[in-house]
Structure 1
Amino acid sequence: MHLILTGATGLVGGAVLHQMLTTPSISKISILSRRPVPQAEGHAKAKVYIHKDFSVYEKSLLDELKDAHGVVWALGISATQVDKPYFPLPIPLPPKTITKMGLIFNVVGLFREYEKITLTYPLAFARSISTTTSPRPVPFIYISGEGATTTPSLLTPHWASIKGRAESSLLALSKSSEFANLRPISVRPGGVDPAKHEEIHGFLPEKGLFRKVLEGVLVPVLRGVVPGMMSPTRELGGVVVGLAVGEGGAFEDGEEGVSGEGRTLSNVKLRKLAGLGK
């Protein structure tokens, strides 16, 4: 079986890649990445395609992906890590100085960059892979996040609204006649926890000092007090890959942890599928 993976150098993507590499029924893994993927090195069934622009896909690349059974879209970025605007700032800002107008343009620019990565990129690939594999159904597993919502309010964080838009946009895409073979399932993991997933520790993204200290204090507390909020990476990777190798069918909408017409799974449902407690 042939699967496609993006975001393989990230935390969730690395967990998913480990599961794919150790699943005998998966014979081929096509990884789309901006940079080399050390975790895939030495594995004959994994092929890394260095891809710089995730908004466009050449026919030559799609031809190599046309027999893929499913997709795991783990490419993403924390809203706090976006460090460049989507367009050049119209007002040059002096070092360490932000004017009121400059702040507005800067924030808007960062929002646009986050939207491009979180929403524009997965939709572009969903359209491309749907057309390439049509009429054969293709499961498309989108890694969202707990807290995402398709019904945002004025108090909803921007990241949660954008992820929700991605979820609903993928669902809408699958309802169109042109992309009817698309089988999207959006998963919303909670606090992603790699502590007991030793095999991926050497490949995890480098964290800043502040984040290391914060997670070093906060995560053990959450793990002990509210384990139901956590998503251990070993189990999460197993669930996600299980969805990708499946038929892409909808779950029962209204079941605990299931929404979006049976195609959005919250952390509660993910933990249940993994055999973990609430």
Structure 2
Amino acid sequence: MNKNALRIIITGATGMVGEGVLHECLNHPDVAAVLVINRKSIGLSHPKLREVIHPDLYDLSAIEQHLSGYDACYFCLGISSVGISKEEYYKITHTLTMHVGETLCRLNKDMVFCYVSGAGTDSTEQGRSNWARVKGKTENDLMKLPFRKAYAFRPGFIKPTPGLTRTHSFYKYINWLFPIGRAIAPGGFCTMRELGLAMIHITQRGYERDVIEGKDIIQLAQ
């Protein structure tokens, strides 16, 4: 892999995390090309950016010809478990993610897969929280796929990048907490820029752990 010319696939670019990671990739000198897979257009034009609109991520057969020749996938697609059934949450969080992962590792033998999970995820799959168990199973099953490497990123509070448009209103109102939280519990607070840079750097350099907690994100971003 040419470390100075990364080719990256991003899912979830219509959400806050995906938009932030995409922003870092487009502005990083070591990233040559970015492909985003979305159900609807993100409405962005950039020399490095290519967009594939596809309504059904559970079946990628119609767009497989666009998905080979990439060094990494930054999987930023996800939903909250609030207000939906356990079955629907499992389908979107595990079934969809695994289908994308299985397809991409078949088409890209040397790919690094970075999955945005979340702080509190349960690797044992035995805890009381359903969302944490499902996220943990998704992490574990992704790491069994024949990628060059799969990493599970577990950010806590993420400070949005100024100027981006898909920031959750929740973060806009509590951003003032960031410097306090970072000082008291730095591992639980990172910036969107740090998260994006951590993914790029882990693709280039690797890392000694598969599960990337907040403190690892900060270290990898440097």
TM-score higher than 0.5 here?
yes
Q: Do structure 1's residue 57 and structure 2's residue 60 form an aligned pair?
A: yes
CA distance in 1, matches of 2:121, 2:58: 23
TM-score, with length taken from structure 1: 0.70
Give CA deviations for 1:217-246 in whole Å, capped at 9, x if unaligned. Answer: 7656534543331121111111112223x2
Superposed counterparts of 1:84-163, under 5 Å = 110-133=85-108, 136-155=109-128, 157-163=129-135
- Structure 1 portions without partners, runs of 5+: 84-109, 175-180, 253-261
Q: Do structure 1's residue 168 and structure 2's residue 127 form an aligned pair?
A: no
CA distance in 2, matches of 1:53, 1:192: 29
Q: Who is 2:3 aligned against? A: none
Q: What amino acid sits opposite 1:119 in the alignment?
A: H
C-alpha displacement at 1:137, in angstroms?
Answer: 1.0
Q: Who is 1:72 aligned against? A: 74
CA distance in 1, matches of 2:210, 2:175: 34
Q: 1:204 aligns with which of 135, 147, 166?
A: 166
> Contact 1:7–1:73 (CA<8 Å) still a contact in 2?
yes
Q: Who is 1:185 aligned against? A: 151
Q: 1:236 aligns with which of 174, 181, 195?
A: 195
| Structure 2 residue matching 1:72: 3-state secondary structure | strand
Could you say if the C-alpha distance between residues 47 and 228 of structure 1 is closer, same or farther in structure 2, counting changes exceeding 3 Å? Answer: same
Identity %: 28
CA distance in 2, matches of 1:152, 1:123: 16
CA distance in 2, matches of 1:17, 1:264: 21
CA distance in 2, matches of 1:70, 1:206: 26
Q: 1:9 aligns with which of 9, 14, 23?
A: 14
> Contact 2:7–2:70 (CA<8 Å) still a contact in 1?
yes
Q: What amino acid sits opposite 2:153 in the alignment?
A: V
CA RMSD of aligned residues (A): 2.3
Q: Do structure 1's residue 271 and structure 2's residue 218 form an aligned pair?
A: yes
CA distance in 2, matches of 1:218, 1:26: 32
C-alpha displacement at 1:191, in angstroms?
Answer: 1.0
| Structure 1 residue matching 2:151: 3-state secondary structure | strand
CA distance in 2, matches of 1:45, 1:147: 35
> Contact 2:201–2:221 (CA<8 Å) still a contact in 1?
no
CA distance in 1, matches of 2:192, 2:168: 17
Q: What amino acid sits opposite 1:184 in the alignment?
A: A
Q: What amino acid sits opposite 2:88 in the alignment?
A: E
**Aligned residue-pair number:** 217
C-alpha displacement at 1:125, in angstroms?
Answer: 1.0
Q: Which has the larger radius of gyration?
A: 1
Q: Do structure 1's residue 47 and structure 2's residue 50 form an aligned pair?
A: yes
CA distance in 2, matches of 1:239, 1:213: 23
- Structure 2 portions without partners, runs of 5+: 1-5
